[in-house]
Amino acid sequence: MDALTQLARLNEECAAYFDDLYAPDRKVYVFGDGDARARVALVGEAPGEQETLLGKPFVGRAGKNLESFLAATGLRRAELYITNTVKFRPTRLSPTGRTVNRPPTREEIALFCPWLQREMGIVAPKWIVSLGNVPLRALTGKPLAIGSVHGQVLESELGAPLFALYHPASVLYNPKLREVYARDLEALREEMHFRRLI
């Protein structure tokens, strides 16, 4: 069975599992996107509003920052596999009654971890880039903090090395990180070049 079919089956199984778990609440899932046998995989936190509307990861505001990632590495989006740790948009009601994003809970992350591991097992990338704390912890199985390990190559639980980047949204909210992020992207480009991934 090819990787695309395996992913489609996994996604169906995953949706059925969470539909059952959260019934009667119906979630809208946003599964991974891109080349199912990509050499490089990008793993984010959870989809936001735009991602949920369009059914693809990183197409909203945070996705715009992905463009700097692509520009800095010379990769094209079509060459990557892009996914999130948690596959639905975690929301809460704001004091004014609007539906807004919230960080995924520990429980949500723990429930999605085995699915992410199976997904990465199918894609089998040679190199994984984690965006922010949530995928960093989910993929290393360690309580690491992105502030201490950003820009470094770490071992993941999946056999492929993992490069830890800040989440693109944290750069939007904290402009002081912009320079750090640019340096990390440069380090990432060098590492990928060294490993002949670009």
Residues that bind ligand URA (CB under 6 A): 44-48, 51, 57-58, 60, 62, 84, 169
The smaller minimum CB distance to ligand URA, of residues 29 and 118, is found at 29
Phi, psi dihedrals of residue 192, rounded to the nearest 5°: -70, -35
- Partners of 164 in the β-ladder: 130
Q: Under 8 Å CB-to-CB from 41, ≥6 apart: which residues?
A: 80, 81, 82, 83, 120, 123, 125, 127, 128, 129, 160
The smaller minimum CB distance to ligand URA, of residues 131 and 192, is found at 131
Least spacing, CB of residue 155 vs ligand URA, in Å: 22
The smaller minimum CB distance to ligand URA, of residues 5 and 75, is found at 75
The smaller minimum CB distance to ligand URA, of residues 112 and 194, is found at 112
Q: Which two tokens stand for residue 146?
A: 């992105």
The single-letter DSSP state of residue 82 is E
The smaller minimum CB distance to ligand URA, of residues 173 and 194, is found at 173
Residue facing ligand URA at closest CB distance: 44
Q: Which two tokens stand for residue 67?
A: 């463009």
Least spacing, CB of residue 194 vs ligand URA, in Å: 27
Least spacing, CB of residue 79 vs ligand URA, in Å: 18
- In whole angstroms, what is the distance from residue 61 CA to residue 48 CA? 9
Least spacing, CB of residue 84 vs ligand URA, in Å: 5
Instruction: Find the angle CA(102)-CA(178)-CA(138) to the nearest 5 degrees.
Output: 45
Least spacing, CB of residue 168 vs ligand URA, in Å: 7
